[in-house]
């Protein structure tokens, strides 16, 4: 599991797949690690926001060749501490967002990911299956 956390903590972008009524949707998303918890935010009225409210199951990919992984999991709403840490890091990365956040222009819903299984790959060989959830 430590290779999974190391990869998550050294990257900031993921490809997030959601689904609704058998129609998949893939989105490039930025995430922030709060301790060992992956947190991301989206507009609740976006397609992915609506998909997540109806079906919390997700799949995502993270990494850069030759090291990458796919992760399956479930999203839940982030708690106040995770939201605060997410917002603090987002403003650190993108100072121009502070004014938008303060004005209420960014209407985000914050999610955290509960990991079930990771498929970790270093190169072209078979992925290492790492059970992470219950």
Indicate the pTM of the whole model: 0.90
pLDDT reported for residue 134: 62
In the Cβ-directed half-sphere of 10, how many Cα atoms lie within 13 Å? 11
pLDDT reported for residue 81: 95
**CATH dotted code for 2-131:** 2.30.110.10
User: Given the structure tokens 């609506």, which residue do they identify?
Assistant: 50
| Residue 89 burial class via C-beta count within 10 angstroms: exposed 0-12, middle 13-18, buried 19 and up | middle
pLDDT reported for residue 133: 73
With contact defined as beta carbons under 8 Å apart, do 53 and 76 qualify? no
What residue spans define the domains of the chain? 2-131
pLDDT reported for residue 106: 80
With contact defined as beta carbons under 8 Å apart, do 75 and 14 qualify? no
| Spans of the chain, pLDDT less than 50 | none
């Amino acid at each position: 599991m430590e290779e999974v956390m190391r990869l998550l903590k050294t990257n900031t972008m993921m490809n997030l797949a959601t689904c609704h009524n058998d129609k998949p949707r893939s989105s490039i998303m930025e995430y922030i690690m709060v301790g060992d918890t992956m947190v991301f935010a989206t507009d609740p009225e976006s397609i992915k926001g609506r998909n997540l409210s109806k079906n919390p199951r997700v799949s995502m990919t993270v990494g850069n060749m030759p090291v990458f992984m796919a992760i399956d999991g479930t999203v839940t709403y982030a708690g106040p501490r995770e939201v605060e840490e997410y917002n603090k890091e987002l403003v650190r990365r993108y100072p121009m967002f502070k004014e938008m956040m303060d004005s209420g222009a960014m209407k985000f819903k914050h999610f955290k990911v509960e990991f079930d299984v990771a498929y970790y790959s270093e190169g072209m060989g078979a992925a290492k299956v790492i059970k992470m959830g219950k």
